[in-house]
A = this chain, B = another copy of it.
């Protein structure tokens, strides 16, 4: 089963490689900086989920522009989050962060370029297909990553550092910061595959639940994993005085909560008639992951 998911990850890697052709001359460094973080070996969870959701509602065309776009937007957010003025992280996925390798100015611009090119690819694709549902998918991604989505989460996260916050605020941070993009991935898959409104809603709910579970596990791993296993320094939340689920629950209670959320995610998939085997597999793998 794991092999099947790897196959989808490889599909995404190939799309990403084709999306950023090797450049020469003056602008080489920008592309190098963009590629460096884009090829830094993430799990490609968002585009894989999108492709699986797409296939689950019967989609069988090429949606590589949207697969690339969501990974590019996720990657830009990591580059900017790692900057000295933000989380000031030197290591990401076991490698020096973008600004450590290319300098702060280029890292800022590489992030800006990934964000802009994500929309450029989607818009070019939507024009090629002349399909309004593709425009809708791009719009969902814009909303999820914008001022009321992912960026709002980051702002709220920063505002909450070194402060005691309540559980509702913590959930609001995660809902925006990581949840919005994961739910967008599955919703976009449903929209691109022309699923019924019920199917799209079910896929979005599935994404929302696993997004929440994902974050609970993230907080646990930051506490109990090792640097090597995680590919980045552990206990960074503690270092940055960040509030996590462990401020409210024990590790055991967190796992219980992640399990409950995963079950809700699995339930959401019940009304999808197409193949949801790998979507279910991923939901279960997410809570058993070690990095």
Q: How distant is the Cα of A142 from the Cα of B117 in the complex, in angstroms?
A: 7
Q: Does A132 contact B (CB under 8 A)?
A: yes
Which residues of chain A (114-128) have a CB below 8 Å from chain B?
115-117, 119-120, 123-124, 126-127
Q: How distant is the Cα of A172 from the Cα of B31 in the complex, in angstroms?
A: 17
Q: Which of B106, B151, B158, B159 contacts A113 (CB 8 A)?
A: B151
Q: Which residues of B contact A106 (CB under 8 A)?
A: 155, 158
Q: How distant is the Cα of A26 from the Cα of B175 in the complex, in angstroms?
A: 14
Q: Does A30 contact B (CB under 8 A)?
A: yes
Q: Does A286 contact B (CB under 8 A)?
A: no
Q: Which residues of B contact A156 (CB under 8 A)?
A: 26-27
A99's closest neighbor in chain B, by CB?
A: B85
Q: Does A238 contact B (CB under 8 A)?
A: no
With A104-B85, A135-B126, A136-B127 known to touch, is A30 a contact of B155 (CB < 8 Å)? yes
Do B29 and A113 have beta carbons less than 8 Å apart?
Answer: no
Q: How distant is the Cα of A155 from the Cα of B126 in the complex, in angstroms?
A: 29
Do A127 and B135 have beta carbons less than 8 Å apart?
Answer: yes
Q: How distant is the Cα of A123 from the Cα of B169 in the complex, in angstroms?
A: 30
Do A127 and B117 have beta carbons less than 8 Å apart?
Answer: no
Q: Which residues of B contact A284 (CB under 8 A)?
A: none
Q: Which residues of B contact A83 (CB under 8 A)?
A: 105, 108
Do A172 and B105 have beta carbons less than 8 Å apart?
Answer: no
Which residues of chain A (146-168) have a CB below 8 Å from chain B?
146-148, 151-152, 154-156, 158-159
Q: Which residues of B contact A126 (CB under 8 A)?
A: 135
**Whole-angstrom distance between the Cβ of A68 and the nearest chain B Cβ:** 13
Q: Which residues of B contact A146 (CB under 8 A)?
A: 113, 116-117, 120
Q: How distant is the Cα of A159 from the Cα of B28 in the complex, in angstroms?
A: 11
Q: Which residues of B contact A145 (CB under 8 A)?
A: 116
Q: Does A130 contact B (CB under 8 A)?
A: yes
A149's closest neighbor in chain B, by CB?
A: B116
Q: Does A34 contact B (CB under 8 A)?
A: yes
Q: Which of B109, B143, B152 contacts A120 (CB 8 A)?
A: B143
Q: Which residues of B contact A26 (CB under 8 A)?
A: 152, 155-156, 159, 169, 172
Q: Does A80 contact B (CB under 8 A)?
A: yes
Q: Does A138 contact B (CB under 8 A)?
A: yes
Q: Which of B85, B123, B135 contacts A108 (CB 8 A)?
A: B85
Q: Which residues of B contact A27 (CB under 8 A)?
A: 147-148, 152, 155-156
Which residues of chain A (12-35) have a CB below 8 Å from chain B?
26-27, 29-31, 34
